[in-house]
Amino acid sequence: MNNQQAIKEKPAIKDKPVIKAKQVTNRGEEDYIKAIYKLSDEAEGDRVTNHQLVTYFAHTAQTVNEMVRKLEKKKILVYQPYKGSLLTALGKDEAVRLIRAHRIWETFLTEKLGYAWEEVHEEAEMLEHLTSSKLADKLYAFLGAPTVCPHGNYIPVLSDMNRDDLDTCGRLKLSKAKKGKQYCLKGVVDDKALLVYLNGLAIYIDLCFTIIERDLISDIVTLAYGGRNTSLSGAVAQKLFVCEVYDAEDNT
């Protein structure tokens, strides 16, 4: 209905249809991979049970089973009924890639755009799925190759791909810290309610404090910092990662 129908020569420059998103894995699958990677830290034998995924995602057992079986077919994990799932090397690479992208975005949003640390997780949770290695690497370089995200968690690099202790390395859960010693906060679990709670207590990454009380019966840790004392439940203390401070400096 227009000019050139017989003159069809070179692949001329013409209006191209919008590109189709054709990814290998999609958001649903990718979030399962990350979840299994994360949950396998705590679980015995590193296996992640379907039940863990049911509670983590608030999906039905049926849905979890379907997803797990699908990822199994894709060689991303090995699944044993009643035992749980174990990521393959392929699956771990995927997980680390996603966690890397996630933390890079979180760093970008806080460092460059001025987001608060409790605001970045949701955004990163979406952006991570659209992040090619190229984009991740360019962003990472732009940020100056940061080692940690705003919550103090390590941003993995390629050489970390198969390290299993990504989230602990060198750090200690505050719940395992000892009375009388001094610690520095180096990481927190990225949970919005927790982050807002910590804001209210003026607790942030790199804060140093002394443990002045450790009540093992009520499971309460009491910290002293900035001229105040704060008591935290064991549940919260389990979500804070610290390093011991050896040189006893003044930190009022």
Which residue ranges make up the site for a second copy (CB under 8 A)? 11-19, 21, 27, 31, 35, 55-58, 112-115, 122-123, 125-127, 130, 132, 135, 138-139, 142, 191-194, 197, 235-236, 239
Q: What angle do CA 37, 95, 91 make, to 5 degrees?
A: 85
Contact letters for DNA, residues 122-161 (x by CB under 7 A): ----------------------------------------
Q: Is 181 in the site for DNA (CB under 7 A)?
A: no
Q: How far apart are CA 175 and CA 235, in angstroms?
A: 8
Closest approach of Mn ion to the CB of residue 179, in Å: 31
Q: If contact means CB under 5 to 8 A according to the sort of partner, which of a second copy, DNA, Mn ion, none does residue 17 touch?
A: a second copy
Q: Specify the residue, 6 or 58, whose C-beta has the smaller distance to a second copy.
A: 58
Nearer to a second copy, 100 or 182 (CB): 100
Per partner kind, with CB cut-offs from 5 to 8 A, the member of a second copy, Mn ion, DNA, none near residue 145 is none
Residue 29 touches which of Mn ion, DNA, a second copy, none (CB < 5 to 8 A by kind)? Answer: DNA
**Helices marked H in the chain — which ranges?**
27-39, 50-57, 61-73, 89-111, 120-127, 133-142, 192-200, 234-237
Copy the structure tokens of residue 172. 């200690």
- Interaction between residue 97 and Mn ion (CB under 5 A): no
Calculate Rg over the CA atoms of the chain: 23
Nearer to a second copy, 133 or 162 (CB): 133
If the CB atoms of residues 22 and 249 are measured against a second copy, the closer one turns out to be: 22
Residue closer to a second copy, measured from CB, 226 or 234: 234
Nearer to Mn ion, 94 or 190 (CB): 190
Distance CA 14, CA 211 (A): 69
Does residue 191 contact residue 239 with C-beta atoms inside 8 Å? yes
How far apart are the C-alpha atoms of 221 and 213, rounded to whole Å?
6
From a second copy, DNA, Mn ion, none, which one binds at residue 190 (CB under 5 to 8 Å depending on kind)? Mn ion
Burial class from Cβ neighbours inside 10 Å (0-12, 13-18, 19+) for residue 239 reads: middle
Give backbone dihedrals phi and psi of 127, rounded to 5 degrees, phi first: -60, -35
- Amino acid of residue 65: N
Q: Which residues of 155-184 are buried (b: 16+ CB within 10 A; e: fewer)?
A: bbeeebeeeeebbeeebbebbebeeeebbe
Which of 34, 36, 77, 84 binds DNA (CB under 7 A)? It is: 84
Residues near DNA, by CB under 7 A:
1, 20, 26-29, 49-51, 58-63, 65-67, 69-70, 81-84
**Sites of contact with Mn ion (CB under 5 A):** 31, 121, 125, 190
